[in-house]
Amino acid sequence: DTAVSQTPKYLVTQMGNDKSIKCEQNLGHDTMYWYKQDSKKFLKIMFSYNNKELIINETVPNRFSPKSPDKAHLNLHINSLELGDSAVYFCASSQDSPYGYTFGSGTRLTVV
Amino acid sequence: GEDVEQSLFLSVREGDSSVINCTYTDSSSTYLYWYKQEPGAGLQLLTYIFSNMDMKQDQRLTVLLNKKDKHLSLRIADTQTGDSAIYFCAEGDTGRRALTFGSGTRLQVQP
């Protein structure tokens, strides 16, 4: 009965590869997000989709491309992976404020 | 832009109270949140407070908001070893802007 599920949980890959992370929520929320958490635990918003519409696109390299096939799914595709992409990526979803976000358990990406 | 700051580390003894502080800069913040992150896990919403409130209590948790100083605190009474985690404050508004998170405070509870 996981509310926000991400796959895979761990991803180790070589520089230059292309990889995808998938996220699904079964809460019926309208908005989904991708956050990046760096090694110092700092969380930074990357993208946000509301009902399949991109509403937030922060300063993220265009090697990162989100895709939302429907409002329950938000996937993240990363091209030409670099060492600096190593981080934990969190998916989250929300309905209207003020109830905050529900987070997935994260995907730890390690680029070697 | 929005900025949210927290101290990085707090150590307390089991049974004591813990107070984690947070400051933010955006005066349009409507909602303020506290999240808890345990090792290897995602962020779990602990509590939230509207910007027109001064205080909110929820069992062992007390949130205090000083809107004038843009200062938010989370007090955990009778801190237990299971409370050891990273605590994030976050702020948001009623618009489409995503939540802005602080850098997190690592709470260590000594037995």
Question: B42-66: per-residue pLDDT in tens?
Answer: 999 999 999 888 999 999 999 999 9
DSSP B19-37: EEEEEE--TT--EEEEEEE
CB contact under 8 A, B103 and A42: yes
A55 vs B18, which has greater pLDDT?
Answer: B18
Q: What does the pLDDT read at residue B2?
A: 66
Which of B30, B33, B37 shows the shortest C-beta gap to A100?
Answer: B33
User: Residue A91: what are its φ and ψ, rounded to 5°?
Assistant: -95, 145
Q: Which two tokens stand for residue A1?
A: 């009965």
Task: Flag whether pLDDT at B1 surpasses 90.
Answer: no
The whole-chain average pLDDT of chain A stands at 92
Q: What is the mean pLDDT of the segment spanning B74-90?
A: 97
A22 vs A1, which has greater pLDDT?
Answer: A22
Instruction: For residue B38, give how far its alpha carbon lies from the nearest alpha carbon of chain A (Å).
Output: 10
Q: Which two tokens stand for residue B60?
A: 């062992």
Residue B3 pLDDT grade (very low, low, confident, very high; cuts 50, 70, 90):
confident
CA neighbor of B107 nearest in space, from B86, B92, B89? B86
Q: What does the pLDDT read at residue B95?
A: 67
* Cα dihedral B44/B50/B51/B52 (nearest 10): -160
B33–chain A Cβ distance below 8 A for any pair: yes
